[in-house]
Amino acid sequence: MKKIHYAWVICLGCELMMFCCNGIIFNVFSVFLPFIKHSFALSNTQFSVMITCRSLSSLLSISLCGSYYRHLSLRTGMFLASMICVTALFCYTFAGSYKVLLAGAVLSGLGYGLGTNVPIAMMLGRWFVYRRNFAMSLVSMATSIALVGFPSAVTWLVGKYSLGYALALVAILDLCVAVAGISLLRNHPDDLGLLPYGKSEDSSETHEREAEQTVDNTKKRQPARMLHSCGVTKEDWLLLGPAILLLGAVAWTAAGYMTVLFDSIGVRPHLIAISMTVYGMSLLVAKLIYGWLTDVLGSYLCNWFYCLMLILGCILLCMGGRFPLAVWLGSAALGIGMTVSIVGLVAWAGDLGTSEQYNTLIQRFQFLLTVGGILFTTAPGVIADHAGGSYIPAYMILAVFSLLFTVSIQLLYYRKMHNV
């Protein structure tokens, strides 16, 4: 029986760290938001400020990631980041005032920025020569898995016991997941006397050629792949920059405020939990088939499908108060459409830019996505305070944003495909 390479154990460890620093601290925690809002009698504006503090601290930590990991090993740095996330959850658990809630929000943003995408990509880069992208896709599934089943469990715990009890259990779970994940991680293959997966003393070049051939074949299968493109120009950024800022506003806000939107239109807590599970399942499936769809249809047609689902999701969620079925359909559509903000950006970087621009484009896309999210994060609460407590106007604005960025990115694709 062939022995499993330890790189796949590293992949599992990274998935656990993603679950700790993103899946629990962001996705599972979103189920607590309506309970926290009611328990502390927060205004919609106060609630939005708390979310904005989390977003700002995550942007700051992402900016500091390079310096942070120059002074610490990946394993040590990721462990400290996970402990920041655990501390944030205990802040929420024992919060007696709004200031402590803000402190928890800041800490959760810091832990997320320092413990997720950047260090995990670095770790997988050390351990994988072949199938690195596949490993990254497996790790990214942890964020969606956190929304399957957990929302209903959290809602039951809050109803059966108390908000503090449920938060304490989630904090303990986060701690256990962090310890389990970090126990599996190793900084370098050399630490275990191994070579990266896909590289061996006699066959390293063969595996590397196989990896390159896989990429080449993928490019050939994609009709929208801009192999002849001169890359992203300054003129292209006039469409691309605003499009990603708008996408950031939608991606950071639409899912983050879902539970509060449902609460404001009278959806019962257990139904809110089920809707979040529907959202998570849809997002999980959509991630899994995204690569296959882009191979078959090309990114241009896939953009239409996923972006239109995002628009439809925002519209249907606004109708949830009158049509209960719209809650489920809207959650599913939003989950499918949200895929474009996660894996779509990577496809855009490969399609629109040259190979030399690829890494830079991904970094800029991530930065613009975060900035767009921060700029709009406070707005839903402020709008709700001026709209009688309703979050529907904010989601109508998000639907318009989704339409605008869809037109912008597709116009740029059309120009590149036809050399306009």
The tens digit of pLDDT for each residue in 331-383 reads: 999 999 998 887 788 778 778 887 777 767 877 887 888 889 888 988 998 99
Residues 188 and 217 in one domain: no
The answer to whether residue 418 sits within a structural domain is: yes
End of a domain among 192, 226, 255? 192
CA distance 42 to 98: 8
Q: Which residue has the higher pLDDT, 412 or 221?
A: 412
Rounded CA separation 18/7 (Å): 16
pLDDT for 197 equals 86
Q: Is the pLDDT of residue 226 over 50?
A: no
Residue 30 placed within a domain: yes
* Backbone φ, ψ for residue 128 (5° rounding): -125, 125
Are the beta carbons of 351 and 225 closer than 8 angstroms? yes
d(CA 334, CA 342): 13
Q: Average the pLDDT over each of 50-64, 75-89, 172-186 and give the range with the smallest value.
A: 50-64
User: 274 and 136: one domain?
Assistant: no
170 and 232 in a single domain? The answer is: no
Q: Clarify whether residues 251 and 384 are in a common domain.
A: yes
DSSP letter, residue 319: T
* pLDDT given at position 128: 87
Tell me the two tokens of residue 168: 């304490």
Q: 325 near 178, Cβ under 8 Å?
A: no
- What is the average pLDDT score of the chain? 86
- Asked, for residue 205, whether it belongs to a domain, the answer is no
Q: Which domain holds residue 325?
A: 213-420
Give the per-residue pLDDT at 168. 96
Same domain, 188 and 219: no
Least confident of 151-165, 173-187, 188-202: 188-202
Model confidence at 133, in pLDDT bands (50, 70, 90)?
A: low
The residue from 137, 159, 192 where one domain ends is 192
Name the more confident of 181 and 367: 181
Phi, psi of 101 (to 5 degrees): -60, -40
Mean per-residue pLDDT, 148-171: 92
> Is residue 262 domain-resident?
yes
Lowest mean pLDDT segment, chosen from 5-9, 69-73, 138-142, 184-188? 138-142
Q: How many Å apart are CA 242 and CA 226, to the nearest integer?
A: 21
Residues 301, 228 within the same domain: yes
Residue range 286-291: average pLDDT?
79
pLDDT band at 138; cut points 50, 70, 90:
confident
- Per-residue pLDDT at 64: 86
| Residue 202 belongs to a domain | no
Pairwise CA distance, residues 293 & 160, whole Å: 43
Who has greater pLDDT, 363 or 151? 151
Taking a C-beta distance cutoff of 8 angstroms, is the pair 217, 53 a contact? Answer: no
Average pLDDT over residues 65-88: 94
What is the pLDDT at residue 229?
A: 55
Secondary structure of residue 42 in the 3-state scheme = coil
Q: Percent of the chain scored above 90 by pLDDT?
A: 46
- Overall domain count for the chain: 2
Nearest to residue 44, comparing CAs of 377, 373, 376, 385?
385
By CB atoms closer than 10 A (0-12, 13-18, 19+), residue 58 is buried
Per-range mean pLDDT, top range of 7-16, 117-126, 359-368 = 7-16
Lowest mean pLDDT among 126-140, 149-163, 186-200, 237-251: 126-140
For 265-277, write each residue's pLDDT tens digit: 888 888 888 898 8
Higher pLDDT, 44 or 221: 44
CA distance 87 to 100: 12
pTM of the prediction? 0.77
Distance CA 215, CA 220 (A): 9
Query: Is the residue at 203 inside a domain?
Result: no
Are 220 and 97 found together in one domain?
A: no
Taking each helix axis from N to C end, the angle separating 299-318 and 269-297, rounded to the nearest 10 degrees, works out to 160
Asked, for residue 343, whether it belongs to a domain, the answer is yes
Q: Are residues 109 and 67 in the same domain?
A: yes
- Rounded Cα distance, 173 and 153, in Å: 13
Nearest Cα to Cα of residue 252 among 373, 392, 372: 373
173 and 275 co-located in one domain = no
Same-domain pairing of 5 and 135? yes
CATH of the domain at 23: 1.20.1250.20
Query: In this structure, is residue 345 part of a structural domain?
Result: yes
Q: Specify the pLDDT at position 2.
A: 66
Residue 39 has pLDDT above 90, yes or no: yes
Tell which wins on pLDDT, 383 or 215. 383
3-state secondary structure 326-363: HHHHHHHHHHHHHHHHCCHHHHHHHHHCCCCCHHHHHH
Q: How far is CA 47 from CA 21, 54, 102, 164, 381, in A?
A: 21, 11, 10, 18, 7
- How far apart CA 402 and CA 246 sit, in angstroms, is 7
- pLDDT reading at 228 higher than 70: no
Q: Which residue has the tokens 């590397």?
A: 208
The pLDDT value recorded for residue 134 is: 74
What is the C-alpha to C-alpha distance for residues 358 and 14, in angstroms, rounded to an integer?
23
| Helix axes 299-318 and 324-337, enclosed angle (nearest 10) | 150
* 135 confidence band (pLDDT: 50, 70, 90): confident
Residues 149 and 257 occupy one common structural domain: no
Find the angle CA(407)-CA(413)-CA(416) to the nearest 5 degrees.
140
Domain boundary pick from 127, 159, 192: 192
Cα 345 from Cα 353, distance rounded (Å): 12
Asked if 298 and 224 touch (Cβ cutoff 8 Å), the reply is: yes
Is 99 a residue whose pLDDT tops 90?
A: yes
Instruction: Looking at the structure, tell me whether residues 89 and 53 fall in a common domain.
Output: yes
Residue 236 has pLDDT above 90, yes or no: no
